[in-house]
């Protein structure tokens, strides 16, 4: 009887050890270069792990700037910006490395002024948006569909409230660098055509 108990205990311990070893060995890190299409190098170093159903790759991008001149002006006075941004990306793949969908979570915050040192009246421009890419044909960029949700532009000025904003959903036609297919919600700049809203920005800055 005692010998049976010892055998059963040993078997149970071996099972636990094997389970712990399997857990420690999973997920397995795989080479990001094996993904199709190529991962965006701005997010290097990507970390890709094989979950058993295909690799999942995770990357991050961040940056900041101070008193950089914008390609816009209020008459003869150029606009300047200081700010920062972050973006976290995650892409899912089939076992052979072909992408099925991607998700980016993005945020930025900057101030626009009419002075090169950032002093004087300012407009606060913030963004909090998600970006989705879906590949109807896995790995084929010519079929992917890009959708943006959230607030991709929201500009406010002290004591004045909203200067302009682009909030809601924007979906692009399948492929790369394609036109907008669907737009819902208020989009004062028509999703990034800032020439439309610069007059309102200049008015908010007193120019």
Q: What percent of the chain has pLDDT over 90?
A: 86
Instruction: Find the Cα–Cα–Cα–Cα dihedral 78, 63, 34, 102, rounded to 10°.
Output: -80
Q: Is the pLDDT of residue 20 over 90?
A: no
DSSP string, 114-128: SSTTS-SSEEEEEEE
The pLDDT assigned to 182 comes to: 97
Domain ranges of the chain: 29-204
C-alpha to C-alpha distance for 93 and 91, rounded to whole angstroms = 7
Q: β-strand 99-113 against 77-93: which pairing, if any?
A: antiparallel
Give tens-digit pLDDT for 143-152.
999 999 999 9
Q: How confident is the model at residue 2 (pLDDT cuts 50, 70, 90)?
A: very low
Contacts 24+ apart (CB under 8 A), 26-29: 26/52, 27/51, 27/52
The pLDDT assigned to 26 comes to: 55
C-alpha to C-alpha distance for 29 and 89, rounded to whole angstroms = 17
Q: H/E element holding 4?
A: helix 2-25
Q: What is the mean pLDDT of the chain?
A: 89
The pLDDT assigned to 13 comes to: 40
C-alpha to C-alpha distance for 111 and 139, rounded to whole angstroms = 38
């Amino acid at each position: 009887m005692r010998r049976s108990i010892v055998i059963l205990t040993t078997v149970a311990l071996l099972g636990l050890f094997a389970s712990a070893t399997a857990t420690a060995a999973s997920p397995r890190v795989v080479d990001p270069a094996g993904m199709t299409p190529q991962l965006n190098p701005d997010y290097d170093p990507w970390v890709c792990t094989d979950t058993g159903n295909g690799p999942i790759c995770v990357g991050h991008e961040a940056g900041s700037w101070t008193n950089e001149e914008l390609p816009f002006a209020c008459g003869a006075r150029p606009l300047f910006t200081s700010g920062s941004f972050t973006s976290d990306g995650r892409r899912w793949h089939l076992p052979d490395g072909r992408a099925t969908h991607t998700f980016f979570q993005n945020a930025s915050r900057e101030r626009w002024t009419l002075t090169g040192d950032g002093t004087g009246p300012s407009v606060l421009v913030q963004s909090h948006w998600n970006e989705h890419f879906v590949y109807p044909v896995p790995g084929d960029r010519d079929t992917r569909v890009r959708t943006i949700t959230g607030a991709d532009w929201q500009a406010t000025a002290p004591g004045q409230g909203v200067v302009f904003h682009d909030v809601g959903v924007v979906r692009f036609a399948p492929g790369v660098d394609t036109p907008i297919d669907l737009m819902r919600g208020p989009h004062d700049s028509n999703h990034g055509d800032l020439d439309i809203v610069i007059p309102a920005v200049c008015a908010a800055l007193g120019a």
